[in-house]
Amino acid sequence: GAVVSQHPSWVICKSGTSVKIECRSLDFQATTMFWYRQFPKQSLMLMATSNEGSKATYEQGVEKDKFLINHASLTLSTLTVTSAHPEDSSFYICSANRGGNQPQHFGDGTRLSIL
Amino acid sequence: DAKTTQPPSMDCAEGRAANLPCNHSTISGNEYVYWYRQIHSQGPQYIIHGLKNNETNEMASLIITEDRKSSTLILPHATLRDTAVYYCIAASSNTGKLIFGQGTTLQVKP
């Protein structure tokens, strides 16, 4: 069964609104979670590393004020797309790491459409 | 993290073994080889990973060359549901970051 849950699975909203996406590890504690974005017919692009209890680490070119990440507990990280515009429309995916050399497990993704 | 190179696409007949190659010639000693697959509009699914020994689980086998510069993912009896994009990633467990390349699109045909 799924070990990482992502919610919502899809969302449509108007330009200028903010959208929050949740990522939960279901049966383990994750000190680190990751957020990816995927455009159609492209590969996953790592956006940021979410660290429990501290600030997220963003990849080069990703606007930290645009994509707010909060990792307030060991089982929950949230990604908020602020003042979303049509170019932010994409497939957003999170993953969680059990630690050590254990593999990351991914959520089922959130399809975001900004009108 | 080391860069990996995979063929962009492969076909496989249903019921036959699918052998997906990956080149990671710059892999460092502490980097594992991870394989994931992504079926359309879903999040990536973990398949298998290894450091230097060959690995097998209920989904697949991973064969890593002795010099660790390349590996092969083997799906022993491919089914239509195995049609997906397969990603080979070399990554250190220290950072946990997975950098995805373009992967191999495997098409299993009846």
Between residues B2 and B54, which one has the greater pLDDT?
B54
**Mean pLDDT (whole number) for B86-102:** 89
**Mean pLDDT (whole number) for B12-28:** 96
**Mean pLDDT (whole number) for B64-81:** 97
Of A84, A92, A79, the closest CA to residue A44 belongs to A92
pLDDT score, position B93:
74
**Rounded CA gap, B88 and A103, in Å?**
13
**Mean pLDDT (whole number) for B11-18:** 97
pLDDT score, position B48:
96
**Mean pLDDT (whole number) for B75-95:** 93
Closest chain B C-alpha to A37 CA, distance in angstroms? 11
Split at pLDDT 50, 70, 90, the class of A1 is low
Name chain A contacts of B34, Cβ cutoff 8 Å. Answer: 103
Question: What are the tens digits of pLDDT across the range A5-35?
Answer: 999 999 999 999 999 999 999 988 888 999 9
Number of other residues whose CB lies within 10 A of the CB of residue A36 = 24
Q: Are A113 and A11 in contact (CB under 8 A)?
A: yes
Residues belonging to chain A with any Cβ–Cβ distance to chain B shorter than 8 Å: 4, 6, 32, 34, 36, 43-46, 49, 91, 93, 95, 97, 100-101, 103-109, 111
Question: What are the tens digits of pLDDT across the range B23-59?
Answer: 999 999 989 999 999 998 899 999 999 999 999 999 9
How confident is the prediction for chain B on average, in pLDDT?
94
Split at pLDDT 50, 70, 90, the class of A2 is low
Count Cβ atoms within 10 A of the Cβ of residue A100 and give its class: 0-12 exposed, 13-18 middle, 19 or more buried.
Answer: exposed
Q: Is A88 helix (H, G, I), strand (E, B) or coil?
A: helix
Nearest to B93 among A4, A93, A101 (CB): A101
Strand order in the sheet with A67-73: A4-7, A19-25, A76-81, A67-73
pLDDT score, position A54:
87
Question: What are the tens digits of pLDDT across the range A33-86?
Answer: 999 999 999 999 999 999 888 899 999 999 999 999 999 889 999 999 999 999
Name chain A contacts of B99, Cβ cutoff 8 Å. Answer: 46
CA triple A83-B100-B79, angle to 5 deg: 115
Check whether A106 has a pLDDT greater than 80: yes
Contact B97 A46 (CB under 8 A): yes
